[in-house]
Structures are given as C-alpha cells and as structure tokens.
Amino acid sequence: MVAPGAVAIIAGLLAHQLVFIHGEWHLQGPKVVVLHFIFGSLLYASHLFGNGGTQASLVETIYLAACYLSSLFTSIAVYRLVFHRLKHFPGPKLAAVTKLWHVWKCRDSRGHLVLQAWYEKYGEFGMKSSGPTEITIFHPEAYETMDGHGNRNTRSDWYDLLYPRISSIFTRDRQLHNERRKMWEQALSTKALSQYHRRVVEKVRTLKSLVALEQSRPVLINDLMYYFAFDSMGDFAFSEDFGMMRTGRWHSSIAMLRSALTLLGPFSPAIWIPRLGFAFIPTLWKVRHWFHMLEFCDQCMARRMEKRLPDPDIASWFIEDYVKHGADPTRERWLSGDTATLVVAGSDTTAPSLTLLFYFLARYPIHTEKIYKEIQGVDRENPAALATLPHLTGTINEAMRLLPAVLTFSSRVTPAEGLMIDGTFIPGNTKICAPRYTIGRLHTAYLHPHEFIPERWYSEPKLIKDKRAFAPFGVGRTSCVGRHLALAQIRLVTAALVFHYRIKFAPGENNGEAVERDMKDQLTAQPGACLLVFESRV
C-alpha cells in the first residue's frame, strides 16, 4: 500500500501540473484557500474518526499538508526556473520563482526604485520579472508596443482589482471598455470641459487666497495640493464641497481613501493578495479603509443623484447613462466602478503632479522666472491661452518626465502570437509592464536624461532622442481621458501662484531632498514632505 505521505506528494504535483499551471487564479484565490481548508478538515476528521486521537490526527494532517504543499511549490519553482518559456530573459531568479519576492522588495512602497535597480542590473528587457509570465520593458518603444495603434494586447489581471465593479479602467473586456470609455469621453469632451472651467477657476482662487494667508510661512505643499485636487474633483465631479481648503484639514473619508491606496504600494505586483484580503479580512487593517473608500465613493454618487442642478458636472453623464439603461444590478456595479475611478483618478493623480511640479519650481527658480515672464499679459484664468506658452508646457512636461504621477503602473498581456519589440520576441500570454519612472530617464530616449531642461520640449528638440518614451498619460485607446482637465488645472494653479510669488524651499529643507528620498509608489506617486515658502513679488 502507498504511504499517505507519498499520496500527498503526488497530489501536490498533480495539482500543479493539471490545475494551477493553466489559466489565471487571482479571482479564484479565496475559493482555492477555502477548498484546501475544507479538504484539510476532512482529512483531520477522517483520521479522528478512524480512532486517531485529537493530537495524532492534527500531527498527521499537518504532515500531509506539508507534503502536499512542498511538492506543489517545488513543482512550481522547478517549472518556472527550468522549463518556462521566459527562462531566457535575464532577471533575479527569486523573482522568477514567486511573486512574493517582488512584493517583499516593494514592502516600503518603493516599487519605482526596485525596478530602476533591476534596469541598471539587467538592461532593456529588464528581467523575467516577478512571477512566471511577466517581463518589464525598459525601452522607449514600450508604450507604443503596449497600447499603440493596432496592438492586440489585453489588460492584465491588475485591472480586476475592483471586480465585480466595472469601469472604463477596471475592465479587461475590450467591448465593455469601448462602451464605458465613450461615456467618459463625452463627460470630458472639450465642450463639457468648458462647463467645468468656472468651477476649477473658483478653486484656484481659493487656493491662491490660502497661500496669501500664510504670508511667507512654510507651507506643506503636499497637503495643500491634495486639498486643492480633492476639492476641485468634488466640485467638477459631484458638485460637492469636500471643504478641505476651507477647513485646512483632511476630510476623514479622504484620509481613509489615501490609507486604503497605500495597500497598492507593496501589493500591486500581486493583485491576488489584496483580493484575498478583501475576501477574508474585510473589517481589519487597511482593508477596512478600502471598503470605506468604496462606500464613500458610492455615497458621493448617491448624494449627487438626489440633486437637480442647472450646470452639468461629470456625474451628470454617468447618471444619464445609468438611467437610460435602467437600474439593473450590472449597471449598478458599473456606476459604482466608474464613480470610484472618478474619485481616485480625478484627484490622486493631479495632487502629486502639482506637488512635484512645485518642488521643481523651487529647485530651479530660473525656470519659474521664465514662466513668470511668459505669463505677463496672458489671461491667467484661461487654460487655452496658458496651453500656448512653451516654457510653462516644457516645465510641466519635464516634471512629468522625471517624476511622473504614475511611476510604474500599467500592464498588459501579449496576444497569443506574441509580439516583437526592437528585434526581441516576447512570447504570447506574457504580462508586460513599462515603468515611467525609469523610461523617463533612459539614455536611449534623452540627452542628459537626469537634468531638468524644459527647453528640450520646444527650442532644444535634439535633447529628445525618442519621443515615444514620454507617455505620462498613456497612449492609444486606454490613455487618460482626464488629461486635458488635469493639464488645465495644473496650468491654472501654476500661473496663479507664479504670478504672485517667488517659490522657495523653507529654511532647513536642504533643497527639498525629502521629496524624492521619501517618495512612495502607491499606484500614484506620494512625494516626500515638501515645505515651501511663497514669497510675495510685491
């Protein structure tokens, strides 16, 4: 008779070879865990009722589980290291064995630096990244390959993060994406934007008056820009005042939202981990904040649906779509997904972009003064007029190149036939990622890539070797629909503050060294503390 230990070892091998090696498992994680627990309990019970005694049954069950799990994980590791189709790509061996290694490396939310270090060590097709089917591409062509014209890639497992909530960004289904995106494009069309313009200008004025109140006292620009971005989003998205600029304090739900998003620092590379957390510990730790965040977003929409407004906001378009199609439960989930996307994408990107831009303005006053000269005689409350100013645009681009708001996020899965990038074949069904932080600094894309030179975007084009490397808003059919709104906000804030103030680091800030040193990558960039002084020009 075969020993039970040997049966468990064979079961582990078969579980890998016949089951887990196929397809995706990130949505099935909770079920897999529960099934294993049930099976383990049955083993324990059968041993107990076969007169095994409590302790002996427990020891036997643990022994069999250990045999099963070690055989399962050994089979996975051997397959990934020795037989996998990506084994020829260079990269850390442990990353090839398990996603958990990448998660461990990102435990302090410095994913951008982890990938930068891998680039320095392994080069363009940086590695067989963390996991069996993932390659990180550090190449100027990466965004075109991922999302450019005619590509047949699909979105990766990451985009199931909110499942079963669906939105333009949180769906992997092309047809559904096209449908949701159409609604977003209408909500953020040029005509619609002109209707939100008054609201944004109003918030910029409030921001200006807040800065004026400080009278050259140090201002934590991180908080200020968050207050501005969330208050603006509250208004143009839901016609709601979150009151952060008014009170000078974090709205408790928005503070919780920020806390929830910190989960994505370490766990973005392995989305099945937060999905397990959502299933098993919904009321604990930051997972609790995650559900609070979703509830807060739903409540914003619920409150908005009760209002009748003379001027449209972004939610108007979502509500119209929802009502048009009848309130079936599927549409309910779509509305919820799009609302969460609107809250987070509409603010948590603009806030760090502004913080980082003002960090650069303080670091390079020469460019701030050039912008100051440029905005003389220009209507500073007209985003279209501001968009024509080359140095302002160059400075914003340069800030977004070196420290983009979305540092590493975006991943796709190659089509079954695979794809070529610069002569290298990437096999089919491979997850590909392209971190903006590193690609923005490539020597193959820029001359003097580590220097802050806004002129490269207008009068010195020779400093850009390959402009495909610049995609702070993504490219193609999945690129940012909020780009024009975000840029309008950034231009308006910059013109308003630069016109009235010289921007300097507060005493003791040491040239803002904490900003990059302490910056975290938590889906969006969370810069380190940046204390600035706004010195009146009059």
Q: Which residues bind ligand HEM (CB under 6 A)?
A: 168-169, 181, 184, 341-342, 345-346, 349-350, 353, 405-406, 410, 472-474, 478-482, 485-486
In angstroms, give the least distance from the CB of 456 to ligand HEM.
19
Query: Which of 235/509 has CB closer to ligand HEM?
Result: 235
CB of 496 to ligand HEM, least distance (A): 17
**C-beta closer to ligand HEM: residue 201 or 405:** 405
122 or 238: CB nearest ligand HEM: 238
- CA 194 to chain CA mean position, Å: 27
> C-beta of 249: minimal distance to ligand HEM in Å?
23
With CB atoms as reference, the residue minimizing the distance to ligand HEM is: 482
Q: How far apart are CA 338 and CA 350, in angstroms?
A: 18
- Three-state DSSP class for residue 429: coil
Cβ 304 to ligand HEM, closest distance in Å? 15
Minimum CB separation from ligand HEM for residue 142, in Å?
Answer: 12
Give the residue among 154, 477, 168 at the shortest CA–CA distance from 341: 168
- Which residue, 15 or 115, has its beta carbon nearer to ligand HEM? 115
Contact 268, 333 (CB under 8 A): no
Neighbouring residues of 469: CB distance < 8 A, sequence distance ≥ 6: 140, 142, 143, 439, 440, 442, 444, 445, 446
Choose between 57 and 478: whose C-beta lies nearer to ligand HEM: 478
Q: Is 436 helix (H, G, I), strand (E, B) or coil?
A: helix
Residue 532, beta-bridge partner list = 219, 505
Per DSSP, the three-state class of 158 is helix
Write out the two tokens for 325: 């199609």
Cβ nearer to ligand HEM, comparing 60 with 348 = 348
Can you tell me whether residue 524 is helix, strand or coil?
strand
Smallest separation (angstroms) from ligand HEM to the CB of 285: 27
The answer to whether 418 and 489 are in contact (CB under 8 A) is: no
Phi-psi region of 474 (alpha: psi -120 to 50; beta: other; left: phi over 0): left
Min dist CB 9 to ligand HEM, Å, is 42
Radius of gyration, alpha carbons of the chain: 26
Using alpha carbons, list the distances in angstroms from residue 319 to 9, 176, 328, 342, 455: 55, 18, 13, 13, 43
By 3-state DSSP, what share of the chain in percent is helix, strand and coil, each rounded to 5? 60, 5, 35
What is the torsional sign of CA 302, 307, 308, 309?
negative
| Phi, psi dihedrals of residue 431, rounded to the nearest 5° | -80, 130
Question: Angle 329-345/252-261 helices, nearest 10 degrees?
Answer: 90
What is the nearest approach in angstroms of ligand HEM to the Cβ of residue 400?
7
CB of 64 to ligand HEM, least distance (A): 43
Nearest residue (CB) to ligand HEM, 259 versus 479: 479
C-beta closer to ligand HEM: residue 232 or 253? 232
Name every residue whose Cβ is closer than 8 Å to that of residue 438 and which is 6 or more positions away in sequence: 112, 115, 116, 119, 138
Which one, 12 or 337, has the nearer CB to ligand HEM? 337
Q: What is the largest CA-CA distance in the chain?
A: 93
User: Residue 64 or 187: which CB sits closer to ligand HEM?
Assistant: 187
106 is in an annotated binding site: no
**Closest distance to ligand HEM from the beta carbon of 370 (Å):** 22
Binding residues: 480
Residues in binding site for heme: 480
